[in-house]
Each structure stands twice: as structure tokens, then as C-alpha cells.
Amino acid sequence: MHIDMNAFFASVEQQSNPALRGKPVAVVGSQQRTIILAASYEARPFGIKTGMALHEARQRCPHLQMVRANNRLYTNVSQQMIRLFQDYTPQVEVFSVDEAFLDVTGSLGLYGSPTRIAYLIKTRLKAHLGLTCSVGIAPNKLLAKLASDMQKPDGLTLIDETEVPAILEELPVGELCGIGRKTVEKLKRLGITTCGSLGRAPLPLLKGHFGVVGEQLLLMGRGVDRRPVVSLDQEAEVKTVSHSMTLRQDVSEREALARFVLQLSEMVGRRARRYGVSGRTVTLVLRYADFTTFSRQQQQGEAIFRSDQIYKAVMNILDRLLLSQPIRLLGVRLSTLERREQQMPLLPEERRKEALAASLDLVNDRYGEFAVMPGNLLQLKGKGSHVISPAWRPEGIRNVGVQ
């Protein structure tokens, strides 16, 4: 089940100030008050949209009520929502301040059907918080997210397993969460515009253009998604985030090692972001060709979670090491973890960055152990001499884990 709150910021403002109810409301940034961050449903018929300049919004809707964003209030309401969801299943994954995934499989015995659970949740959200949401119910996260988008506001959409092929057949590929504008354009050039055609596309064609991502795109076109719902409890149990890989051949060249470090850093960073944690200790684990294994760690000035920060820290360790033998195994670990404050970036630019990172993470979570990384990571190491093709992945990943 995917639950997406409707016009969240604006609705919360309308709830906390009854004078705003039923009126066109726009939430504007707390510092940079030049653009619209969110608009209520009453404001939307006037064409008021996120990202619009204030003067334009005023022209379109002279009686628009402008409210300064109150991050703390939104976070607080968000936490109340999560607690409410947890009454129906412990498997609640917070996806953003106003979205969550619920695995209700284990609750069906108690409540009968997923639609009944959705109905109960919707009723309570309305009664206790005065908020409406759109709920999507489907066999997996990809399809549940798609379903919640189908009816707004106050929707409830169920995609039954048997309906999946029919629903996907004519659906534009860009409607799937995780397929961005660039991918849409690239697919279009291959003559693929619908999920149906994506699901039937020849695998070699997709692999040729998207590398390892190709196979996953194919699965997405067919509505296949095996990612589990990761609950808050499971996240809380995370003590360290680490990845290691056994190299197919022993490697002594530092540039080659740097490439593996880059990849491992991205994997660890991605996992850390997924679990909403950052860490103060970075550890590099090395195993020599003769199986001697050792590690070196370094404390960071601040808790880090970005892949480029992790990469920099690990390279810092590696650059100071004198290697007496070729390397057989490499590992990167992030520990002394702390929860990242849930901060909603309010500026569109920041949101875009976060959305991009989230999309990349989504792609990489889906597409096996390596698919996409930000260009700036590629450039970290010299002047284009280390371009890693999208299809590149290290051989022989043996141990990928979170403890």
C-alpha cells in the first residue's frame, strides 16, 4: 500500500488555521519568499503551481492566501500519520514527509482486506488530522505508487495482479516512479513509449543502450518489483552499513583500486540514504592476495552520508597506505551511525537535488548492485580518464550486506 497525502503542506496549514479552509492557499518559503512551494486544491484551478513566482501567482489569483512554510509543523503532523499507519502494520516505510509504503500482507487476517485497511486509515486521517490522502494498493511498491497517483485527491485505487498487464499496456513509461525524463527520451528514440512495449522490448536492445539497467527497465515495464517495505524498526537496527567485494583478479594498480572504492562508496552511500542514517566513522577493509586481512578507519568531522563524501574519506585512507601485495578484497564501511534529521528541503533547487538522489538510489536499488551514479563522482578522479560506462560493474561481488 502506498499512501500519498494530498496537497500536504497546504492542507496542514488549512487545518491549523480554520480561516484558510476552503480558500486558495499557497505555502511560500520561509526565507526566500519568492516562489510557491505548495498550493491547496482550491488554488489549483487558478493555475497556481509549485515553483511559480509570487507575482505571477498574485496575478492569477488575487485573493490567494500566502502562508510561510512551517517545517516543524509538517514534520510533527507527519509523525502522527506514521503512528496511525503503524496501528495497522509494523511494516511502515517512510518514503517522504507525506508518503509512506505499508506492507499489509500480515494484517489481512485481522482486517479482512487491504481496501478495508485503506478505508480505516483514510477515515481516521480525516477525523483526527483533517487530512485526505490517495491510497494505492498493489502487489508491489512500484505498482502501489502508480496506483496512488491515479486518483487525486482522496483516492483509493486497487491494482489486482490480474489487471497489471492491461494497466501497463498503454501506460507512458514516464508514469513509473524511477523512470525519469532522460530515460523517457532515450526510450522514445528506441520507439518505446509505453510500459507494454518496454516489457516486450528485446533485452539486448535495452542492455545495449542502458547497460545493466536495461534488464531492470524491462522488468519495470512488466510491473515487476521485488523491493521489500523497509520499516522504521528495521532501519533502527542498522548499526553499520558496509559493502565489500572480492576482485576477480588481484589488483595492485591504485587507479583500478580507486574505481572499486568509488563503486563501493556509492553502494554504501546509497544504502545509508535508504536507511536514513549518516556515519562518523569510515573504514577501509583490505585483503591481500595471501589472505592477510586488515582495516584502517578514520573519524570524520561530521556524520556523512553522501557517496562523494564517503569516497573522499576512503581515498584519504587508501592514499596513505603502503601496499605490500596485490589486493584481493576491498570493503568500505560506514559506522558510528546516527539518524539523519528528517528535513524537508523547501527550496525547489534542493528538492530537485534530493529527488534526483532519490531517483538514482531507486534505480540502483532496483537494478542490482550497480547502475547509475552522479557525474560528479566520475569526475572526482581525474579528467575523464576514468569514465565508467553505465554497464560497468565490478566482477565477483560476494558480500553485500547491512549489519
Which of residues 5 and 48 has its CB atom nearest to Mg ion in the complex? 5
- In whole angstroms, give the CA distance from residue 255 to residue 260: 9
Give the bridge partners for 38, in sequence order.
Answer: 27
Sign of CA dihedral 391, 394, 398, 401: negative
Packing angle, helices 8-16 and 71-86, rounded to 10:
100
H/E element, 196: helix 195-200
We find the least distance from the C-beta atom of residue 174 to Mg ion, in angstroms, to be 18
Comparing CB distances to Mg ion, the nearer of 98 and 308 is 98
User: Are 140 and 177 a contacting pair, CB within 8 Å?
Assistant: no
Question: Do residues 199 and 164 touch, judged by C-beta distance below 8 A?
Answer: no
Cα separations (Å) of 213 from 171, 193, 360, 365, 373?
20, 17, 11, 11, 12
- What strands, in cross-sheet order, belong to the sheet with 65-68? 36-39, 25-28, 65-68
- Closer to Mg ion by Cβ: residue 249 or 343: 343
C-alpha cell, 376: 560528479
Task: Give me Rg for the CA atoms of the chain.
Answer: 23
- Closest separation in Å from C-beta 325 to Mg ion: 54
Q: List, by residue number, the catalytic residues.
A: 99
| DSSP E strand stretches across 159-304 | 241-251, 277-288, 293-304
Distance CA 330, CA 321 (A): 14
For the chain, how long is the longest CA-to-CA vector? 75
**Is the Cβ–Cβ distance between 269 and 374 less than 8 Å?**
no
Report in angstroms how near the CB of residue 132 gets to Mg ion at its nearest.
Answer: 10
**Which CB atom, from 97 or from 282, has the smaller least distance to Mg ion?**
97
152 vs 340 by CB, closer to Mg ion: 152
Distances (CA, A) of 123 to 93, 133, 134: 20, 10, 12
Nearer to Mg ion, 153 or 390 (CB): 153
How many CA atoms lie within 13 Å of 22's alpha carbon, on the beta-carbon side?
A: 2
- Kindly tell me which of 177 and 198 has the beta carbon lying closer to Mg ion: 177
Whose Cβ is closer to Mg ion: residue 64's or residue 81's? 81
- Interaction site with Mg ion (CB under 5 A): 4-5, 98
Helix 254-275 to helix 348-366 angle, to the nearest 10 degrees? 110
Single out the residue of 306, 246, 299 nearest to residue 270, CA to CA. Answer: 306
**Closest separation in Å from C-beta 6 to Mg ion:** 6
**Could you tell me the smallest distance in angstroms from the CB atom of residue 161 to Mg ion?**
26
CB of 59 to Mg ion, least distance (A): 26
Q: What is the closest distance, in whole angstroms, from the C-beta atom of residue 345 to Mg ion in the complex?
A: 15
| Shortest distance, position 151 Cβ to Mg ion, whole Å | 13
Length of the chain: 403
